[in-house]
A and B are shown apart, each in its own frame.
Chain A
Amino acid sequence: MSAATLDRRAVIAELLERRGDLLLVCGLGGTVWDATSVGDHDLNFGLWGGMGTATMVGLGLALAQPERRVLVVTGDGEMLMGLGTLATLAVQRPPNLAVVVFDNERYGETGMQTTHTGLGVDLAAMASGAGIVDATTIRELGGVAALRDRVHDGAGPIFSVIKVSADRAEMVLPVRDGPLLKHRFRTALLGSPGA
């Protein structure tokens, strides 16, 4: 068990600084509020459900948009529900995709129950075992700045666990209407919401 000390709002601010035209997918719950805390964005697609599939939404997007950089930010609980996606991601080797897990070792949304990462499970080791070469665990803000550079320029797939504190952060809610989020994202990316 590791000390989880970073403030998640400081981490997201660092990670999304000068984001440019980065495409962002967030897993349900805390990371959606985190992303919204630095300002909502048309190129954010924050999931409000489908626990365990955030990485795959990011993968489909990254394969469809090879010229763009795609970032998935999700929680440890959300990642644990879709561990097989690490294997699928590793096999696809998308060079333009980074997956970052905000690991508070808790199911924050549902009352801060301990997750498996708080009981010794090492997500970065699992990603590495799946075959993702750039798989790291970050405990300091300096590491987040270095990760941000790789998110924009590094060779993907990139997988990083950032240990964050289990302190509750304020809920900052974005749009919750799914079709609206989808249309907004497609319009910003493709110029039109249509087929």
Chain B
Amino acid sequence: MNDAAGATQSVDWPGDIHRTLAALDVRQIAYVPDAGHQRLIELCQADNAMRMVPLTSEEEGVGLVAGAWLGGERGVLMMQSSGVGNCVNAIASITRACQFPLLMLITMRGEWGEGNPWQVPMGRATPEVLDTLGVQIARVDRAEDVAGAVAAMAALAFKSTTPCAVLLSQRLVGAKSFQD
């Protein structure tokens, strides 16, 4: 189901992300699943220090991690690129308006080898929408760069209270085949 259409990789990047989040003491894991996040979600689920908060819609996570920060905990928000469209007002009106930290891990759709044309417009819009909202972006194409990007964006988010997104490219994550 989750063919690697682009990269061949020996680096365990989901494991790298999990270890990075654990080292940063990130406690609340808010997510709407994406196939590209499957292994990371499983790793976080297996970690007793992490509280899994599955969401019905991605914008819920923006509120959740703001509340976590008010209470002294760090959270992370995971989604696929379509979910960015669901978060717009919450990022502007809560995260930005109050200068809350925000760390988003976004698996990209609609780019490298995409088999679903309905994913393409939102995938294309994702970096621009985030940029318009004042969210700092780090795009990652290579497995060996993932851990560094997550650590850098997390520092920017939690120490410099900046909204940040790591865009995990579709070339890295692998395109869904849809049995062509």
B56 touching A54, Cβ below 8 Å: no
- Most chain B CB atoms below 10 A, which of A60, A84, A190: A60
| Chain B residue at minimum C-beta to C-beta distance from A92 | B53
B158 touching A64, Cβ below 8 Å: no
Q: Which of B86-111 contact A (CB under 8 A)?
A: 89-90, 92-94, 97-101
Total of A-B residue pairs, C-beta within 8 Å: 121
Enumerate 21 A-B pairs (CB-CB under 8 Å) in ascending A order. A48-B97, A49-B93, A53-B63, A54-B63, A55-B63, A56-B62, A56-B64, A59-B67, A60-B67, A60-B68, A60-B69, A61-B68, A62-B67, A63-B53, A63-B67, A64-B27, A84-B57, A84-B60, A88-B54, A92-B53, A185-B70
Cβ contacts under 8 Å, A45 to chain B = 70
Compute how far the CA of A88 lies from the CA of B158 in the bound complex, rounded to whole angstroms.
Answer: 25
A56 touching B63, Cβ below 8 Å: yes
A88 touching B55, Cβ below 8 Å: yes
Q: Which of B51, B60, B62, B98 contacts A178 (CB 8 A)?
A: B98
B56 touching A87, Cβ below 8 Å: yes
* B residues lining the A interface (CB < 8 Å): 27-28, 51, 53-57, 59-73, 75, 89-90, 92-94, 97-101, 158-159, 161
| Chain A residue at minimum C-beta to C-beta distance from B91 | A50
Q: Which of A55, A60, A195 contacts B71 (CB 8 A)?
A: A60
B71 touching A61, Cβ below 8 Å: yes
Q: Nearest 6 A-B pairs (CB), nearest first?
A: A60-B67, A64-B71, A49-B93, A53-B63, A84-B56, A56-B63
A85 touching B60, Cβ below 8 Å: yes
Interface string of A159-195 (1 = CB under 8 A from B): 0000000000000000000110110011001100001
| Chain B residue at minimum C-beta to C-beta distance from A56 | B63
* A residues lining the B interface (CB < 8 Å): 23, 25, 45, 47-65, 82, 84-85, 87-88, 91-92, 178-179, 181-182, 185-186, 189-190, 195
B98 touching A60, Cβ below 8 Å: no
Cβ contacts under 8 Å, B54 to chain A = 88, 91
Q: Which of B67, B68, B89, B97 contacts A51 (CB 8 A)?
A: B89
| Chain A residue at minimum C-beta to C-beta distance from B100 | A182
Q: Which of A23, A55, A63, A91 contacts B68 (CB 8 A)?
A: A63
Cβ contacts under 8 Å, A182 to chain B = 69-70, 98-100
B57 touching A64, Cβ below 8 Å: no
Compute how far the CA of A61 lies from the CA of B94 in the bound complex, rounded to whole angstroms.
Answer: 15
Cβ contacts under 8 Å, A50 to chain B = 62-63, 89-90, 93-94, 97
